[in-house]
Amino acid sequence: MPVQNADKKNIMLIETHVQVADIPEEGLFLNFEELAGLIGDLDEFSSVSHASGRLELHKSGAEVQISGWVRGKMNLSCDRCLASFAFPVDASFFYLLKPSKEFHREIEPDHEVTGDEIHVYWYEDGLIRAEELFREQILLQLPMRVLCREDCRGLCAGCGADLNREECRCQEVVNHGPFSALAGLKTIQN
């Protein structure tokens, strides 16, 4: 079955759990399409769409080295104007995973990120949950302050106008003076 042989190192996966025991000597190379469905919504203000990724896993004793990338789009809501917009994600990463027992003995119990952005983590029950690595990498890409654009003018606190698209109406009301409301009322009654 030549096709199967050719695809051996580039298996398309829906399932994202990798058994450490299944990683062969020469490494395991996995491509992921449609990660959005696997990762789900990250929080109420963002979701992932059209994300794909790749993992290259190499075993060295009980440790697993993983390099990979994730690319896609996040749907975010602007902190200032609340408009939703697409935010591109493109991250390359490197993980060193140790079995949980060894990890907790050697290193601080918390997830440690070294200066070189190598993420040292642990795995449990001989299982690597790929979607968690992708999810973390996507979250790391989230800006501290989510803005649809650098100079977003936001919503007016007074009238609620989207100042990117329309004029603030607060000043109008003041200019028309105390009778403007009455004038408006009349029009409506007619």
Cα(150)–Cα(141) distance, integer angstroms:
17
Residues 6+ apart with CB under 8 A from 6: none
Cα(85)–Cα(44) distance, integer angstroms:
14
CA–CA distances in Å: residue 32 to residues 14, 35, 53, 116: 7, 6, 5, 25
Whether 76 contacts 145, CB under 8 Å: no
Check residue 80 for interaction with Zn ion (CB under 5 A).
yes
Strand order in the sheet with 28-32: 11-13, 28-32, 46-60, 63-77, 84-99, 118-123, 112-113
- Min dist. Cβ of residue 168 to Zn ion (A): 3
Candidate segments 57-65, 72-80, 93-101, 128-136, binder of Zn ion by CB under 5 A: 72-80
Check residue 81 for interaction with Zn ion (CB under 5 A).
yes
Residue nearer to Zn ion on the CB measure, 100 or 164: 164
Check residue 152 for interaction with Zn ion (CB under 5 A).
yes
Residue 129, classed as helix, strand or coil, is strand
- Min dist. Cβ of residue 126 to Zn ion (A): 46
Candidate segments 3-11, 33-41, 105-113, 159-167, binder of Zn ion by CB under 5 A: 159-167
Cα(168)–Cα(161) distance, integer angstroms:
6
Residue nearer to Zn ion on the CB measure, 59 or 80: 80
Cα(118)–Cα(99) distance, integer angstroms:
17
Candidate segments 17-25, 33-41, 122-130, 169-177, binder of Zn ion by CB under 5 A: 169-177
Which residue among 46, 56, 156, 162 contacts Zn ion (CB under 5 A)? Answer: 156
Check residue 76 for interaction with Zn ion (CB under 5 A).
no
In the numeric block, which tokens belong to residue 32? 């992921």
Check residue 148 for interaction with Zn ion (CB under 5 A).
yes
Residue nearer to Zn ion on the CB measure, 13 or 159: 159
Which residue among 42, 118, 139, 168 contacts Zn ion (CB under 5 A)? Answer: 168
Check residue 158 for interaction with Zn ion (CB under 5 A).
yes
- For Zn ion, the binding residues (CB under 5 A) are 78, 80-81, 148, 152, 156, 158-159, 168, 170
